[in-house]
Chains A and B, each alone.
Chain A
Amino acid sequence: MNLLSGLLEMELLRIWMKLSPDFRERLGLLDSTLILDVPLGVISRIEKMGGATSRGENSYGLDITCKDMRNLRFALKQEGHSRRDMFETLMRYAFPLTHSLPIFAFANEEKFNVDGWMVYNPVEEYRRQGLPNHHWRITFINKFYELCDTYPPLLVVPYRASDEDLRRVAAFRSRNRIPVLSWIHPENKTVIMRCSQPLVGMSGKRNKDDEKYLDVIRETNRQISKLTIYDARPSVNAVANKATGGGYESEDAYPNAELFFLDIHNIHVMRESLKKVKDIVYPNVEESHWLSSLESTHWLEHIKLVLTGAIQVADRVSSGKSSVLVHCSDGWDRTAQLTSLAMLMLDSYYRSIEGFEILVQKEWISFGHKFASRIGHGDKNHADADRSPIFLQFIDCVWQMSKQFPTAFEFNERFLMTILDHLYSCRFGTFLYNCESVREKQNVTERTVSLWSLINSNKDNFKNPFYTKEINRVLYPVASMRHLELWVNYYIRWNPRIKQQQPNPVEQRYMELLALRDEYIKRLEELQLANSAKLTEPSSSPASPSQMVPHVQTHF
């Protein structure tokens, strides 16, 4: 580990560390005195290390565990009570919720020339998809979050299902998360629906309304005989869920549906897997058995399963074989991963910067992915079992896709990394709270700044130069271990030894060529301008030497 000495500063948002001048010189850092810049929101855990009697250099101080794959250790002088003060201040501001303080986003007064809160307008997004149409209607039944408190106010449901039907279906779905439309295919009109598990329970309860509702969904495409249900869980887990009142759609109750399990594990498995990834990359990369160590984290295996599931969903819908209903247990983790990834594969609009923001805003934020619980914003309880890197895993899947299709996405790697950084930073309101109803209560859109304001006012920084806009192209990534890679630039970015070339040399070369092209075009235009100027006054200046020669000869 690198040891640096300097002055530590803290403000409401972040810890800064400024180096003492002699260190600055030694590192050759002439302009930047800043060596460390950690948003307080990224802190997961703060511990004191060593005691008043500790001997040895750097054995006394603070240990800070971060949510973004790094640990920080500050060695302090033992004199005075500097550590106690620092510890308490840090605890207070890093975990404001625990101390009944407001999260930093509410104090942030940054101004941007674009308002990111305007990016997502559900009515507009559904209109883009061609909705409502004569099979699908927009309902405001959830306007006051009465049907389902974790769903958005605006939902798209089958035209033939009345609001009364919806209420009865809600009674049979976990946390009232009824099947609603996420995406409709512009041509074959098959749809992706999302919901939570049915409340089948040990006794194998049935619900006529739910059964009818699913059949109504199927019937929006007359030529299709089956509705495909993808249960994201391993079948064992789905069965086990019956014990707590949940379960899955049985063949008897839903004869017009076919159900497949996608074997994606739950939030706890994912959390442990990421922990193992951290173990092999931080503080040192496990060099000697890198690949088998990576394999033993199972991280890429989970990525593979998520992608494989999304591919199946996308394939069903794009081939027009059937409409698809996706759920897991509550329909806010794995379900969000599957629907949003499938939509990313199917709809090129979501591969643009703004389209992706809408996708995140819609499938994740508005449909109640529990960001507050999964990330633990401002909460000191680092061991909370609700925490899990589900959204990170989704972004990782997107990164894997962008690696396989370097020209298909308008955004670059920096865009994805920025999203992840501010997933933790608490600088923006975008990822705060678990669902729309709470956000509305907290007035998030009025009291905080949106992350998309930052991004959309600096769009050029986040653009992929290779982007080729293509309409209606379905992307099928190859979900094979042969192609999946660990996202080194993200997971190992704190390791100075694994220095990746930044910016990416291929990208850099492309930008250079672009600049060269522009310069040539400019020069060509100048040349043409000069030529045409000569043409207009042929008598005063000779156009070219070759024309001069015969002219001179006539004089002889």
Chain B
Amino acid sequence: MFSLKPPRPTFRSYLLPPAQTDDQINFEPKIKKLEPVLLPGEIVVNEVSFVRKCIATDTSQYDLWGKLICSNFRISFITDDPMPLQKFHFRNLLLGEHDVPLTCIEQIVTVNDHKRKQKVLGPNQKLKFNPTELIIYCKDFRIVRFRFDESGPESAKKVCLAIAHYSQPTDLQLLFAFEYVGKKYHNTANGINGLPSGGGGGGSSSAVGGGQGPQTPLFETYSDWDREIKRTGASGWRVCSINEGYMISTCLPEYFVVPSSLADQDLKNFSHSFVGRRMPLWCWSHANGSALVRMALIKDTLQQRKIDQRICNAVTKSHPQRSDVYKSDLDKTLPNIQDIQAAFVKLKQLCINEPFEETEDKWLSSLENTRWLEYIRTFLKHSAELVYVLESRRLSVVLQEEEGRDLSCVIASLVQVMADPYFRTITGFQSLIQKEWVMAGYQFLDRCNHLKRSEKESPLFLLFLDATWQLLEQYPAAFEFSETYLAVLYDSTRISLFGTFLFNSPHQRVKQSTEFAISKNIQLGDEKGLKFPSAWDWSLQFTAKDRTLFHNPMYIGKSTPCVQSHSVKSFKRTKKSYSSTLRGMPVPFKNGIISDQQLLPRRNSLILKIRPKPPQPAKNQNSGMEEYFQEWFSKPVDLHGILLPHLSATHIKLWKLCYFRWVPEAQINLGGFITAFHKLSLLADEVDMLSRTLRQPRASPGGPCSAERDQSRMYFQASGPHPHSTSGTPEFLSSSFPFSPVGNLCLAHS
């Protein structure tokens, strides 16, 4: 059954008054309401009516009646019944309230009550009984349960088989993003629809805007890398284009940064010796000139020493003090990706699979046994140690890993989050993910297991987000984003629409999408592959209002006024406060060298200048490190300088919002950190509003006009037309907010 009619914009269209359509007064009949709103390229594969979605484990009184649909993008449950017990709307624009993207499905279990049979459905399997119940286990810890008591047994079975088939594709091009983008291109050709706003793709557009704020550099172009070199003030490094057209390596980006002293020809020669031809890639430079570099192992044992020496010499030459290179062998110091996956599987089992009460007694030791927190701590610790090497010992750091595209992504990113405040802004954080994950060839396709080859699955990206959350938890005013942002970012990896999280490498996107374009007769012109939507285009997923939940009301932006400075001068500078438009923009350059003055805001913030240290003689590294950490922790934190994590076992916590949000029993109604967040938002909003009023040429006592209200960066606003504007705690707040476990978790009855 194909439904190719143009999609309606939202479900809300039903509620529109029939004002302009007075010639056709017929309201849509009730049954028509149960039609899905499809995305471009989305087709309904199978559907079944009179399905009951279970809401609570112990009672069926809240169950919803509706139609269960399997499309090539998601499973969708369409119902007229309102969601019980849920009093707020935070919704993904791509998904209905009850929808699960196919790439988010972990396991499909069909049950027949009467025959007491149960089967886990794989692709292309047969089902010998008519299911009375379908349970979907999701990768994001949700469990969704449907009952077919009143539906046609054959159609129920067909839908289950369809879900099993479509959620476990064998070929990358079967993922929905291809169909979606293909449709968009066709529509463009016919002049119907505009292109998706670039990103995750084409070479022509180098940045993606989220509708507001600065654009996220994607590092697909030469200039993005060049700007990053200049932003960090690195000297001795250059952008190298030898991999244009992926001529050297298929798992490296087309452009990357290398020591200036290495000529293209040298690099070409060396490249053969590296695993995956992944030669050293520059990640970032400290203001003192120490660089962070990542590279794969040298597989050529004969040449190993020689090449290694050449690389190290080149990195040393690129250091203003010609300091030695500090090598960190990640494979030897960190748990491997299988260990991490095993920890995550245990964590998931602990959070969802067991009955809640039965896991209570041994909760703490079970949590310890998953080793998840231990691994988070190990990664944070190692990153902090490298920050010490870069900052205090002023050595360049080379991360070594067999392929250099797994553990290196986590460590390289964490080091930068700790060491450079830019990466604690939303744009900076996104650019970091582009730089160290997407472009560096983190294998999202395999690690997220979009194609169900479980042996390659590993949650390294989540591990990074979790570790970032730990830093956010410890230094809540140092980050522009909120924990909701991190959770939603994690969810975005499970929606197979964004080019950002779909591929194993940039080359794979170009290759696969070019093949797809040819097979579908899509004219690519001079574009390198299809342009997929970027995850950074948040307007695809959330309304502007909902996106304000990404903002951390505690964040102290660089130009935000601080209380201590009472002068009018500092106040005037606050014009840029909170807007963050200037952050992330490159500072102006003179011949690529930043003058001292221009550097001031950034350099000043680094601890280095504030407390100069005597040059360190060859000292026992460990005692030096201990001393460095002790000294750092004894001083007040500079939120725009280095951030080091507290690493005691009592400090590393479970990220409850992410892992408990779908568990009804764990939800604190009207409580949780969000209630303090709410108060903070109201106050931050009031401060913003006052600051805007003051900035107006003639401050009017009536406060800002309504257009100004829309500028608010806060979800919760101090006053205004919004229903939850009173100072009391809104009744829909809970520790799961903005997510709701209602209807999302239904453990199989035992």
Residues of A within 8 A of B (CB): 285-292, 294-295, 300-301, 304, 404-408, 466, 468, 470, 473, 475-478, 480-483, 486, 488, 492, 497-499, 501, 505-506, 509-510, 512-517, 519-521, 523-524, 527-528, 531, 544
Interface membership of B694, Cβ < 8 A = yes
Interface membership of B710, Cβ < 8 A = no
Cβ B729 vs Cβ A514 within 8 A: no
A482 CB contacts on chain B under 8 angstroms: 360, 363, 654, 656, 660, 666
Cβ B360 vs Cβ A480 within 8 A: yes
Minimal Cβ-Cβ distance residue in B for A530: B699
Cβ B680 vs Cβ A505 within 8 A: no
Minimal Cβ-Cβ distance residue in A for B731: A473
B31 CB contacts on chain A under 8 angstroms: none
Cβ B476 vs Cβ A295 within 8 A: no
A231 to B678, CA, bound (A): 39
Binary flags per residue of B462-481, CB closer than 8 Å to A gives 1, else 0: 00000000000011110000
A498 to B665, CA, bound (A): 31
Min CB–CB distance B732 → chain A (angstroms)? 14
Cβ B649 vs Cβ A290 within 8 A: yes
Cβ B666 vs Cβ A524 within 8 A: no
Minimal Cβ-Cβ distance residue in A for B663: A482
Q: Can you list 7 residue pairs at the A/B interface with Cβ under 8 Å?
A: A285-B650, A408-B671, A477-B668, A480-B356, A482-B660, A498-B650, A513-B684
Q: Which of A289, A477, A510 contacts B368 (CB 8 A)?
A: A289
Q: Which of A292, A407, A478, A520 contacts B365 (CB 8 A)?
A: A292
Cβ A519 vs Cβ B649 within 8 A: no
Cβ B690 vs Cβ A524 within 8 A: yes
Cβ A514 vs Cβ B683 within 8 A: yes
Cβ B364 vs Cβ A544 within 8 A: no
Do A520 and B665 form a contact, CB below 8 Å, given A405-B671, A528-B699? no
Cβ B687 vs Cβ A516 within 8 A: yes
Cβ B675 vs Cβ A406 within 8 A: yes
Min CB–CB distance B243 → chain A (angstroms)? 44
Q: Which of A287, A475, A498, A524 contacts B693 (CB 8 A)?
A: A524
Cβ B476 vs Cβ A509 within 8 A: yes
A404 to B476, CA, bound (A): 18
Min CB–CB distance B610 → chain A (angstroms)? 15
Interface membership of B236, Cβ < 8 A = no
Do A404 and B672 form a contact, CB below 8 Å, given A478-B666, A505-B475, A516-B561? yes
Cβ A287 vs Cβ B649 within 8 A: yes
B650 CB contacts on chain A under 8 angstroms: 285, 290, 486, 488, 492, 498
Closest 5 CB pairs of A and B: A290-B649, A481-B363, A520-B690, A291-B368, A292-B365
B673 CB contacts on chain A under 8 angstroms: 406
A510 to B363, CA, bound (A): 34
A466 to B365, CA, bound (A): 33
Cβ A506 vs Cβ B476 within 8 A: yes
Cβ A499 vs Cβ B680 within 8 A: no
Cβ A516 vs Cβ B729 within 8 A: no
A514 CB contacts on chain B under 8 angstroms: 683
Min CB–CB distance B53 → chain A (angstroms)? 25
Query: Which parts of B550-571 form the interface with A (CB within 8 Å)?
Result: 554, 556, 561-563, 566, 571
Cβ B671 vs Cβ A524 within 8 A: no
Min CB–CB distance A420 → chain B (angstroms)? 19
Min CB–CB distance B655 → chain A (angstroms)? 12
A468 to B361, CA, bound (A): 34
A186 to B694, CA, bound (A): 47
Cβ A517 vs Cβ B368 within 8 A: no
B651 CB contacts on chain A under 8 angstroms: 498
Interface membership of B698, Cβ < 8 A = yes
Cβ A406 vs Cβ B693 within 8 A: no
Q: 15 other contacts beyond A290-B368, A482-B363, A497-B648, with CB at 8 A cut-off?
A: A291-B365, A291-B649, A292-B365, A295-B362, A295-B364, A407-B676, A468-B675, A475-B670, A482-B660, A501-B474, A506-B680, A509-B554, A510-B683, A513-B683, A517-B687
Cβ B368 vs Cβ A404 within 8 A: no
Cβ B368 vs Cβ A468 within 8 A: no
Min CB–CB distance B557 → chain A (angstroms)? 13
A516 CB contacts on chain B under 8 angstroms: 561, 563, 687
Interface membership of B57, Cβ < 8 A = no
B654 CB contacts on chain A under 8 angstroms: 482
Binary flags per residue of B673-699, CB closer than 8 Å to A gives 1, else 0: 101101110011011001101100111
Interface membership of B701, Cβ < 8 A = yes
B687 CB contacts on chain A under 8 angstroms: 513, 516-517, 520
Residue from the set B554, B650, B670, B698 with the largest chain A CB neighbour count within 10 Å: B650
A517 CB contacts on chain B under 8 angstroms: 683, 686-687, 690
A221 to B403, CA, bound (A): 74
Query: Which parts of B692-715 form the interface with A (CB within 8 Å)?
Result: 693-694, 697-699, 701
Minimal Cβ-Cβ distance residue in A for B718: A517
Cβ A466 vs Cβ B649 within 8 A: no
Cβ A519 vs Cβ B363 within 8 A: no
B321 CB contacts on chain A under 8 angstroms: none
